[in-house]
């Protein structure tokens, strides 16, 4: 198939008059270097990690869309209070889209590049909300025969994050995991990984229907943080599983602190007279998201043996190195339609992604809707 000469690229732009715009820039389809390929992007999800650059600074209640086709423009006022934070962005159209999949339509001269020509690949990059993207062959994950772009769209961020939690747990000598916002796509993946690998997982959700969802998927421990007995039940689950590492997507508020409090209670269950510094069992809270943007409130009523750290995929990958990463990617490729299956509520085009009502939906951090952009539509 012959590819056209130009393609559209979605850009997020902060203007000097206090607006955030989403625009489409037309550009020539790039020419690949020796070790590069050009991928026609056919499926790319909107993850929380994309929202930060794409839409976070906008007050989407003020959003309006004008024009059509390649001239579509979305514009919204900036949120109050973000001005100083976005200052470095003013006047610079930023790309977005951290992962996706599509067909290799051009390939460089190297053997590795040529081998991918015509193949469906998954890609990790920072600019995949576009029609054609040039990437190094190293950024491509080879897919098993028959895997579709839609199936492979979310091959990196959620799968490697979920696997990263398990690897982190193992590397740091923990036995089991506490996970919040556990009904998310990521949380469901983590549940499947833990069930497969025989790891105890304590799932924390916020709604009764999320408890049901995870239980229907075989989860043993699912706790609703809104329940009256949440702290008691969480302590009991930690006692049973020895889950002294938690991965928290909410970030703000005191949920992380409450988890550490329950861990300490579980750790002290056989201690008749705890000393002033609490138990010796090390308790670790990783914050990997900010579904709640408010400050983290830490009550420090859990002794003096604990750590609270940010957890992010990129440093994890750098830390474990390319060999381990390839091993993890291979597992993802093999289990893409089972363990690592993602579900989307809506498939949209690039111009759809600039419509005010759709932007308002995907700007929500904890939206029930999960959008998949198909730039080739």
Instruction: List contacts with its own copies (CB under 8 A).
Output: 49, 52-53, 56, 88-89, 92, 251-252, 254, 257, 272-277, 280, 287, 290, 295-300, 303-312, 314-315
Find the shortest distance in angstroms from Cβ 320 to its own copies: 16
- Count Cα atoms within 13 angstroms, Cβ side, for 287: 21
Residue whose token pair is 């499947």: 192
Find the shortest distance in angstroms from Cβ 55 to its own copies: 11
Residue whose token pair is 């062959």: 137
- Cβ–Cβ under 8 Å, residues 238 and 263: yes
Tokens standing for residue 303: 């002794």
Q: Is the CB of 310 or the CB of 377 nearer to its own copies? A: 310
- Count Cα atoms within 13 angstroms, Cβ side, for 182: 35
Find the shortest distance in angstroms from Cβ 200 to its own copies: 25
Find the shortest distance in angstroms from Cβ 284 to its own copies: 9
- Cβ–Cβ under 8 Å, residues 259 and 278: no
Q: Is the CB of 52 or the CB of 70 nearer to its own copies? A: 52
Q: Is the CB of 277 or the CB of 338 nearer to its own copies? A: 277
Q: Is the CB of 47 or the CB of 374 nearer to its own copies? A: 47
- Dist. CA 124–CA 63, nearest whole Å: 29
Q: What is the DSSP letter of 92?
A: -
Q: Is the CB of 119 or the CB of 364 nearer to its own copies? A: 364
- Cβ–Cβ under 8 Å, residues 45 and 344: yes
- Cβ–Cβ under 8 Å, residues 46 and 373: yes
Find the shortest distance in angstroms from Cβ 172 to its own copies: 13
Find the shortest distance in angstroms from Cβ 66 to its own copies: 27
Q: Is the CB of 195 or the CB of 317 nearer to its own copies? A: 317
Collect all residues with Cβ–Cβ distance below 8 Å to 306 and sequence separation of at least 6. Answer: 260, 282, 283, 284, 285
Nearest partner of 104 among 93, 89, 91, 115, judged by Cα: 115
Q: Is the CB of 76 or the CB of 333 nearer to its own copies? A: 76
């Amino acid at each position: 198939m012959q590819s056209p000469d130009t393609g559209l690229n979605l850009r997020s732009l902060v203007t000097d008059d206090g607006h955030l715009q989403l625009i489409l820039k037309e550009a020539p389809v790039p020419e690949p270097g020796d070790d590069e390929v050009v991928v026609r992007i056919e499926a790319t999800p909107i993850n929380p990690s994309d929202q930060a650059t794409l839409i976070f600074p906008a007050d989407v209640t003020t959003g309006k869309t004008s024009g059509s086709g390649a001239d579509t423009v979305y514009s919204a006022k900036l949120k109050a209070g973000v001005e100083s934070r976005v200052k470095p962005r003013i006047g610079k159209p930023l790309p977005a889209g951290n992962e996706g999949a599509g067909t290799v339509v051009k390939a460089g001269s190297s053997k590795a590049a040529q081998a991918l020509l015509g193949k469906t690949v998954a890609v990790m990059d920072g600019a995949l909300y576009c029609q054609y993207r040039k990437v190094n062959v190293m950024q491509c994950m080879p897919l098993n025969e028959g895997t579709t772009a839609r199936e492979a769209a979310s091959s990196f961020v959620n799968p490697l994050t979920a696997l990263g939690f398990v690897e982190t747990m193992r590397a740091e000598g923990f036995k089991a995991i506490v996970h919040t916002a556990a009904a998310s796509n990521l949380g469901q993946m983590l549940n499947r990984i833990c069930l497969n690998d025989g790891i105890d997982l304590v799932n924390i959700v916020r709604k009764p229907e999320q408890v049901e969802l995870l239980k229907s998927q075989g989860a043993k421990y699912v706790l609703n943080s809104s329940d009256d007995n949440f702290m008691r039940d969480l302590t009991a689950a930690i006692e049973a599983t020895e889950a002294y590492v938690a991965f928290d997507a909410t970030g703000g508020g005191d949920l992380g602190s409450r988890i550490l409090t329950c861990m300490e209670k579980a750790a002290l269950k056989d201690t008749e007279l705890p000393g002033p510094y609490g138990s010796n069992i090390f308790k670790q809270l990783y914050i990997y998201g900010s579904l709640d943007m408010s400050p983290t409130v830490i009550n420090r009523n859990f002794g003096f043996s604990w750590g609270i750290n940010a957890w992010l995929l990129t440093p994890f990958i750098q830390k474990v190195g390319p060999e381990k990463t390839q091993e993890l990617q291979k597992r993802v490729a093999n289990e893409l339609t089972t363990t690592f299956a993602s579900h989307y509520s809506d498939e949209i085009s690039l111009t759809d992604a600039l419509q005010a009502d759709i932007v308002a939906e995907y700007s929500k951090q904890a939206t029930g809707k999960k959008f998949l952009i198909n730039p080739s539509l």
